[in-house]
Structure 1
């Protein structure tokens, strides 16, 4: 019975954290195709099965927490056995490291490679009993901390900040930055959406100040069991800078810390939540006898009128051999970017609730019939100041230092694009009244 050729553990973005090839019939780089194939199935409205094939390679996968465990094979293998093996692999790794996630994999890659060599031989599952494995793979593993850390005062060590720092003007700047990852299919349905957030700081403070940061009551951290009024903001994958007193945070959710000097990232988080497109863009396409093509591009700002998006860029894909571009836009500027096979519509400021439209015309040197091929997606870039998608807000930022100086705290909110893509609407535009370019 044929086995598998490669086993890998990937993060949610499809990046390989660790992988092991057991045979030479599948190149290691093949694993990079996994997530694009999954996304393609999701865009087409299909259920992503645990087994699928592409270009003669079988992909078998399971998901655990924020990880994909994937096995690849070219043979007609026993899918149930391989999927069972992947589940047992999760159990073995969990037994070793308590929690199986990105951090534990990065901290223990040597021992994981040893386990890969023991649990499978030339692609055939072998020993998957953790008690037996622990008899001869006894290397000390770095288990994720589940105990409350002792306060820094016990060790009296603040390795990230020097003593004797002095500033004439004591200031602290805090930015809440949220990036929106969004994928919309050609039918206008949101296939995937998430918010990646970070609280970034610049501290120019004298002495050894202690800062206390309070967030609005709607914020909930993963597995806290805390209740709140209204719709909660449930944060996942929260990571703090080492300066944060985790014991204090575990007790009362106060973010208390002695900051490093200068610029640093205090915390990062993820919200796996349904987000409607803040900026909606669509391109209606009309072909004329296969020799020229016209685009009607519509954009709408789907956020509140009191906010404004800055430096909006909308990239619309065109055929590779398109030439003779002509554009007409009442707002913004449009440029052809041949190296990207696209044209870009740049809008310096786009107020909330605003609808805009532009037209583009290209010649097609190669005469063709009606296009049925897949088009690249529209990508949108933007930045919206004074606004967060999640609704997270800073309630207070207190600076306490034994000398008693007054510090000026500045808080700013920014929402920006992450991977923000919308599939092109392939429906032809209704023939409009002719207007010259």
Structure 2
């Protein structure tokens, strides 16, 4: 039997929590989060005891999927491997029903995940299920993760036709179209950052995943050549390559050419994770956007917030969706706005919680956007201190990693398509404005 289950981020934030005993609280997972954050040798083993509790977890999609096993229960007697496999199954079900799993998609789909946990861990008893069997018992509709919009809302964004799948990571492995003759390679990076008021990056963390999905007959051997080595070993002297602190290869993936070449045997219709990596803290982090802000007094009662968002991604890239969220001064009754730059911009204000949202769609790389927002009844000299930036950028990744060559052996028929796509999304980017 299980005492509780939670999904936590790499920074120790509990995104989802389910407790199976009425006398338990969120503090049940504090020893686990402390062990993860303080372990000097990376993550602890997949099963360990601390603070009188038995923890079993898996690390998937940059998230910890954790459960607490009751001592002496039948579940504990079955062994930790059984619990690990059950957690992996829960992750697969959530990924199948929710799509891409990020901090935002987990919090947006809390109701759906609650139903999944109710079906797979009813009362703390593990129920091994598959997505197909669970689908009939799930009534909630998934809330689409923001990173999918970049690939679905703008046809042709990656040079794809409208009929092309949105992303290799978004397609169920159970659906295989035998008529396809296509190969997809996706490089997806997530950004977490804290930025000072002058645009100085105080702290940043970038994690990336290289995904592949093949729709070719047989099991051709794939050889992928990158422009930089996938290695966490520091290089002597000056290095122009991407510096990484963590690299994890997928199952069956072989590394050659000094870390620049990945090879494996493809499986038709199957999504395969070739590698996961984390940029080194000393790698120069170029964030896709820079935001500058200032406030000034217009009248004794009204103030003006001026925002300028600059794209650092260069020509040929596009951000299908960029959103800046902040909170207006508490006395603000309404806002009036004027924008310049990209054509599709909106500024909205919620008088209930004083939330202020600036949204830009189809933001070209190398350009900038301005917003002049009048804060009515804000007190005149009131200031806006901080905000959150959410974005999706296609054809660009922070690390500069690129796929230089893709080779298949044996060579498939000439009438097949090869898609290489790049996407950068925000996980959590906080900005100080003053």
Provide the rounded CA distance (Å) in 2 between the counterparts of 1:185 and 1:348. 25
Q: How does 1:360-371 map to 2 (within 5 A)?
A: 360-364=373-377, 371=382
Structure 2 unaligned segments of length 5 or more: list them: 1-5, 85-171
Provide the rounded CA distance (Å) in 1 between the counterparts of 2:338 and 2:214. 47
Change (3 A) 1:187 1:64: farther
Query: 1:171 matched to which residue of 2?
Result: 182
2:275 is the alignment partner of 1:271: no
Structure 1 unaligned segments of length 5 or more: list them: 1-7, 36-49, 51-58, 69-87, 116-136, 145-159, 426-437
Larger C-alpha radius of gyration, 1 or 2? 1
Change (3 A) 1:224 1:409: farther
1:337 aligned to which of 349, 357, 361: 349
Query: 2:207 matched to which residue of 1?
Result: 196
Post-superposition shift, 1:176? 1.3
Contact 2:173–2:270 at 8 Å: present in 1 too?
Answer: no
Post-superposition shift, 1:183? 1.2
Contact 1:181–1:193 at 8 Å: present in 2 too?
Answer: yes
Post-superposition shift, 1:16? 5.5
2:388 aligned to which of 379, 386, 393: 379
Contact 2:313–2:396 at 8 Å: present in 1 too?
Answer: no
2:230 aligned to which of 211, 220, 237: 220
Change (3 A) 1:226 1:397: farther
Provide the rounded CA distance (Å) in 2 between the counterparts of 1:237 and 1:197. 10
Post-superposition shift, 1:362? 2.1
Contact 1:67–1:101 at 8 Å: present in 2 too?
Answer: no
Aligned residues: 324
Query: 1:304 matched to which residue of 2?
Result: 314
Q: How does 1:228-377 map to 2 (within 5 A)?
A: 230-234=240-244, 236-240=246-250, 244-246=251-253, 248-249=254-255, 253=259, 254-261=262-269, 263=271, 265-273=273-281, 274-287=284-297, 291-331=301-341, 332=343, 333-338=345-350, 341-364=354-377, 371=382, 377=386
Deviations 1:186-209 (A, max 9, x none): 354322212121223332111232
Query: 2:26 matched to which residue of 1?
Result: 28
Contact 2:395–2:421 at 8 Å: present in 1 too?
Answer: yes
Residue 240 of structure 2: SS of its match in structure 1? coil
2:10 aligned to which of 9, 12, 17: 12
Provide the rounded CA distance (Å) in 2 between the counterparts of 1:29 and 1:108. 13
Provide the rounded CA distance (Å) in 2 between the counterparts of 1:108 and 1:250. 35
Change (3 A) 1:313 1:235: same
Deviations 1:273-299 (A, max 9, x none): 441432111321234676322111122
Contact 2:187–2:208 at 8 Å: present in 1 too?
Answer: yes
Residue 64 of structure 1: SS of its match in structure 2? coil
Provide the rounded CA distance (Å) in 2 between the counterparts of 1:214 and 1:267. 13
Provide the rounded CA distance (Å) in 1 between the counterparts of 2:78 and 2:28. 31
Contact 1:222–1:235 at 8 Å: present in 2 too?
Answer: yes
Provide the rounded CA distance (Å) in 1 between the counterparts of 2:224 and 2:387. 39
Provide the rounded CA distance (Å) in 1 between the counterparts of 2:256 and 2:79. 27
2:405 aligned to which of 389, 396, 412: 396
Change (3 A) 1:237 1:319: farther
Provide the rounded CA distance (Å) in 2 between the counterparts of 1:179 and 1:67. 20
Residue 255 of structure 2: SS of its match in structure 1? helix
Query: 2:433 matched to which residue of 1?
Result: 424
Post-superposition shift, 1:390? 0.8
Provide the rounded CA distance (Å) in 2 between the counterparts of 1:16 and 1:342. 24
Provide the alpha-carbon RMSD of the alignment. Answer: 5.2
Q: TM-score, normalised by structure 2?
A: 0.57
Change (3 A) 1:138 1:188: same
2:420 aligned to which of 388, 393, 411: 411
